Amino acid sequence: MIYKYKELFTPTNGLFKYMNFPFDSDVTAEQLDTLFYFKFGNKKVTALITEMMVDGILPDANKEVIAHMIENIFLDKWAKLKEAIINTHYDATAITEYTEVINTSENGNKSNDDTNKTYGFNSSDGVNDTSSSSIETNSNTGEKIRTIKGRNGIFPQTVIEAEIRLRQKNLYLDYIMNDVNSIINLKIY
């Protein structure tokens, strides 16, 4: 028999209730269960869920086993996401300073071969009058140090706007919901 998620779980009694991961201090497990129920409730569950059913019912003990299994699979990923998206703090108005060292080296060779010839009237053959040849070598090695202080053209407003766009596109709980969905629900309706 094929079951949908909403046939096996209730809005306040889903898999998040059994997980120990500290998702977010502002969101409860019941709220996550409710959100997941209405977002993914019409999807058909995978064989992992149906194989753990007993007489057409998914017992609470088996829900807990499934929840802990999912949590263990994604624990490291969720912790890193939480750290990267939620717990990263920085000063948007901080002045940056960096030092740049530039090594310069210039080598050049210049050769010159001059020959002056004197030509007679209506003559295509010239006679050597003077001749000179020279080779010049230049070498220059140095180091230039430049220290720059400032924001390099990035203003605090730009940084804050980028932060807002990042948070809107990367909602931490959306990643978690999609990970749970990938394990317990089929990809098709």
pLDDT of residue 125: 73
pLDDT of residue 137: 67
Mean pLDDT along residues 94-109: 67
At 12, is the pLDDT very low, low, confident or very high (cuts 50, 70, 90)? confident
3-state secondary structure the chain: CCCEHHHHCECCECHHHHCCCCCECCECHHHHHHHHHHHHCCCEECHHHHCCCECCECCHHHHHHHHHHHHHHHHHHHHHHHHHHHCCCCCCCCCEEEEEEEEEEEEEEEEEEEEEEEECCCCCCEEEEEEEEEEEEEEEEEEEEEEEEECCCCCHHHHHHHHHHHHHHCCHHHHHHHHHHHHHECCCC
pLDDT of residue 123: 72
pLDDT of residue 4: 92
Distance CA 96, CA 85 (A): 23
pLDDT of residue 162: 72
- In percent, how much of the chain has pLDDT > 90? 32
Name the residue ranges covered by the structural domains of the chain: 5-92+155-184, 99-149
- pLDDT tens across 115-132, in order? 666 666 777 776 666 555
How much is the pTM? 0.59
Has residue 7 got a pLDDT over 90? yes
At 33, is the pLDDT very low, low, confident or very high (cuts 50, 70, 90)? very high
